[in-house]
Amino acid sequence: MSASAATPALVALDWGTTSLRAYLLAADGVALDTRASSAGIMKLPAGGFDQAFEETCGAWLDAHANLPVIAAGMVGSAQGWVEAPYVETPANADALVAGIVQVKTARGLAVHVVPGVLERGVLPNVMRGEETQIFGALASEPSLGAAGGALIGLPGTHAKWAFVADERIERFYTFMTGETFSALRDHTILGRTMHPAPTHDEQAFLRGVDTARDAGHPGVLATIFSTRTLGLTGQLSAEQQSDYLSGLLIGHELRGLSEVLARENATLAGKTLRLIGNDALCDHYRAALERFGCHDAATVAHATEQGLYGIAALAGLVAAKRAA
Amino acid sequence: MSASAATPALVALDWGTTSLRAYLLAADGVALDTRASSAGIMKLPAGGFDQAFEETCGAWLDAHANLPVIAAGMVGSAQGWVEAPYVETPANADALVAGIVQVKTARGLAVHVVPGVLERGVLPNVMRGEETQIFGALASEPSLGAAGGALIGLPGTHAKWAFVADERIERFYTFMTGETFSALRDHTILGRTMHPAPTHDEQAFLRGVDTARDAGHPGVLATIFSTRTLGLTGQLSAEQQSDYLSGLLIGHELRGLSEVLARENATLAGKTLRLIGNDALCDHYRAALERFGCHDAATVAHATEQGLYGIAALAGLVAAKRAA
């Protein structure tokens, strides 16, 4: 690494509802340092943005004054530091750059807040933060943004699946899979017969995926009850029930996506797929996707930093990275 | 009413997880008195069954010693007063009578506990209490039990849909619609933008039903997010969001049922349908069923008492009711 590459060039923030992750990036986009904080936007007192920013990034800025700062995520929502109104699908990186809104910190620096993306329609969809990760994936693997397109999955509390083509986010879906799982486990009868499992039970998980995938049942509101009845009939142990329910819900998510594709005469197996997110969760999705015939759904590493860096470069905040 | 008809002949209990409802029935099956208590089986201290029974029915038994007592519901579960093991589908009323288990009260009376019904399979199903209501519906409208069959819906926390024919419960499904609605409203982001509505908003409810019914979406895990995004985009007020979500979930339940029927070349509109349950909730289901082409889904009144009385009569606990 050259000396200039190791010089800090950008402070990049992934600032969501429940956490703040900060990156000190070099001129080549590589992270020199990172900080993780629980100062998500829903956890801050009124006016708490400046203090959380200082606590997380102050030392970097003391050492390297006047670094440009970019941020993505719920920090740009109506409940955030400053509202960066949604840009609409189809959205490319230029549209995101054009939608950046600045907020001045107590220190006098401008934080450049990336807007989220809105898809209008009968079932509107919104994302904040994922758009930046998606462009990070396109930066690290440019063929994903080609005309043929790709399907990028971002598992989590609110899982997103985005159709990208021609360097744009064409459209996307939101599945409340993670949050529904937690609500069912912690606040319905299904949790009462569950015992915590020491490790992920792959067999129980895939049984759930297969049950959701296979035809014959009347939908997720009905299949979830089998978490309990398979226990009552001695076919699922208390330790297996949580992974079975997780597999069921992820299976229903993928089945729903399959049905949408089928209406376009496409299949999950025929698509170029990539995953972005927590490694363990992406592993579970990859195992579930195998049951739908997808064997090449790699996880994109460093999508968040890459996305923040790429948008900052396009906005002229840092010099664009050159090919090695 | 004749004098003998007005003489108490049976104490009948509908004893579930969260409540106990007791009926003092005359020889013609008509309720002379009723008591409702919050002494559901999950709310009782250890050994609390006898005390709850005495508090609810003691005065009746003091006045009329040696009345027969019959009970249905979760009181017969493994967590109940005595376990009455499930009988399996297809199940007729004789099978329920054969499965009755008795428990002796402190007063020395025998309580006759009706078993629940189990359907084995990849997705097992269980019911306790609903089987008795279903036979109550068949008693009040015998054509429902004919060879052609009927579909009986019991909306609620765990909605049941039972296929009945030849005087039997052939098979059934459980939809966790009510409990999922509560968990989503009270324990996910969807509740955060909801305001309580002064009255049921039929328009918002039916919008949810229609959204779930119409093709094009990738399933309930995705459509529920529109409760939030329709709010964000100004298409659904905070007061409408709860009824919209309720309509969505009930719509997905009915769509799931439709899909099962479609695989048998049947339709909801072509079935004889009846509803059993809370009047307001049955009204909502009836409005939702209209959107699926069903215009004759009457609510069956007094199904619980009728069912308890009919099973008691078949078991020889009371003289069988004669046609007037």
- A268 and A179 within one domain: yes
What CATH number does residue A104 fall under? 3.30.420.300
Give residue B192's pLDDT: 93
One domain, residues B181 and B72 = no
Query: Is the same domain home to A106 and A190?
Result: no
What are the structure tokens assigned to A187, written together? 């606040």
> Is there a domain that residue A118 lies in?
yes
Closest CA to A168 of A101, A230, A117, A209: A117
Question: What pLDDT is attached to residue B46?
Answer: 81
User: Is A67 in contact with A10 (CB distance < 8 Å)?
Assistant: yes
Q: Is the pLDDT of residue A323 over 50?
A: no
Inter-chain CB proximity A233 and B124 less than 8 Å:
yes
Q: What percent of chain A has pLDDT over 90?
A: 91
In a shared domain, residues B134 and B231 = no
**DSSP 3-state assignment of B226?**
helix
Residues of B in contact with A233 (CB under 8 A): 118, 120, 124
> Is the residue at B167 inside a domain?
no
B107 and B54 Cβ atoms separated by less than 8 Å: yes
**Is 60 exceeded by the pLDDT of residue B323?**
no
**Per-residue exposure over A119-133, b if at least 16 CB sit within 10 Å of its own CB, e if not:** beeebbbbbbbbbbb
- Compute the distance between CA of residue A268 and CA of residue A290 in angstroms, rounded to an integer: 10
Whole-angstrom distance, CA of residue A138 vs CA of residue A144: 6
Q: Do B197 and B308 fall within a single domain?
A: no
What percent helix, strand, coil does chain A show, rounded to 5? 40, 20, 40
pLDDT greater than 70 at residue A115 = yes
Over 70: is that where the pLDDT of A5 sits?
no
Are B244 and B258 members of one domain?
yes
Q: Give the span between the Cα atoms of B284 and B276, in whole angstroms.
A: 12
Specify whether A180 is located in the same domain as A124.
no
Predicted local confidence at residue B83, as pLDDT: 97
Residue-wise pLDDT tens digits, B264-295? 999 999 999 999 999 999 999 999 999 999 99
| Mean pLDDT value of segment B205-210 | 98
Tell me which residue range forms the domain holding A79.
8-129
On whether residue A163 sits in a domain, the answer given is no
Inter-chain residue contact A118 with B233, CB threshold 8 Å: yes
Q: What is the mean pLDDT of residues B12-41?
A: 95
Please determine, for residue A27, whether its predicted confidence score (pLDDT) is greater than 70.
yes
Rounded to whole angstroms, the Cα distance separating B30 from B7 reads 10
If you average pLDDT over residues B102-106, what whole number do you get?
Answer: 96
| pLDDT per residue as tens digits for the range A139-160 | 999 999 888 889 999 999 999 9
Q: How far is B208 from chain A (nearest CA, A)?
A: 11
Predicted confidence (pLDDT) at residue B216 exceeds the cutoff of 90: no
A194 and A88 in a common domain: no
Confidence of residue B78 (pLDDT cuts 50, 70, 90): very high
Band (pLDDT 50/70/90 cuts) for residue B321 is low
CA distance B232 to A223: 31
Q: Count how many domains chain B has.
A: 2
Q: Is A276 helix (H, G, I), strand (E, B) or coil?
A: coil
Whether B322 contacts B122, CB under 8 Å? no
Confidence check: pLDDT of A235 > 90:
yes
Contact B220 A221 (CB under 8 A): yes
Is the ipTM reported for this complex over the cut 0.90? yes
B24 and B127 both lie in a single domain:
yes
What average pLDDT score do residues B232-247 get? Answer: 97
Across the interface, whether the CB atoms of A253 and B186 are under 8 A apart is answered: no
Q: What is the pLDDT of residue B322?
A: 54
Selecting from A124, A229, A263 the residue whose C-beta is nearest the C-beta of B233 gives A124
Query: Are A229 and B116 a contacting pair, CB within 8 Å?
Result: no
Interval A238-292: pLDDT, tens: 999 999 999 999 999 999 999 999 999 999 999 999 999 999 999 999 999 999 9
Q: What pLDDT does A302 receive?
A: 96
- Tell me the average pLDDT of chain A: 95
Nearest residue of chain B to residue A174 (CA atoms): B222
**Residue B197 is part of a domain; what is its CATH number?**
3.30.420.310
How many CB pairs below 8 A link A and B? 157
Q: Do B218 and A256 touch (CB under 8 A)?
A: yes
Token pair of A122, please?
Answer: 């009968």
